[in-house]
Amino acid sequence: METISRRKMLLAISIVASASHRIRGQQPPKVDVYKDPTCGCCSLWVTHMKMRGFDTTVTDVPDIAAVKTKYHVPNQLRSCHTALVGGYVIEGHVPATDVQRLLKQRPKVVGLAVPGMPIGSPGMEGQNGRPYDVLTFDAAGKTTVFSTQQPSSHA
């Protein structure tokens, strides 16, 4: 019996999630991700999103700070990657469940952010993770807590 690699398993899950959207007559949400070419945790976050049915496109950029400035991400909320989905900005390791909730509720905010790179967030799984907040932010930089997440140890 052939052993299935993690990469093949993740690809299969991504295909099934995407197909389930098409069966229901929906297109999977499109996520455009901008990241530094050398960032590995960003790639893990993209995998997290794909596994949960998002259609992701990744663009490696040499100046990620310029992307954050362009999309009005406040300095205190910045993380390692920036994504765009459904008219919103997603900054950092925001869980897919929060992005899904954002797209369903459609609050009047610029987007969601997980400042820094907290251990236990999607793409930053590992031991010793701590609870972390997912924040909304508006055009003035005002934040509110959208959710408090418990750390996860798996993708």
Task: Check if the beta carbon of residue 88 is closer than 8 Å to that of residue 116.
Answer: no
pLDDT in tens, 95-108: 999 999 999 999 99
Q: Which two tokens stand for residue 127?
A: 């031991």
- The neighbour count for residue 155, using CB atoms within 10 Å, is 14
pLDDT in tens, 18-67: 444 443 557 889 999 999 888 888 899 999 999 999 999 999 999 999 99
User: Nearest-CA neighbor of 155 among 12, 46, 3?
Assistant: 46
Burial 48-83 (b: 16+ CB within 10 A, else e): bbbbbbbbbeeeeeeebeebbeebebbeebbbbbbb
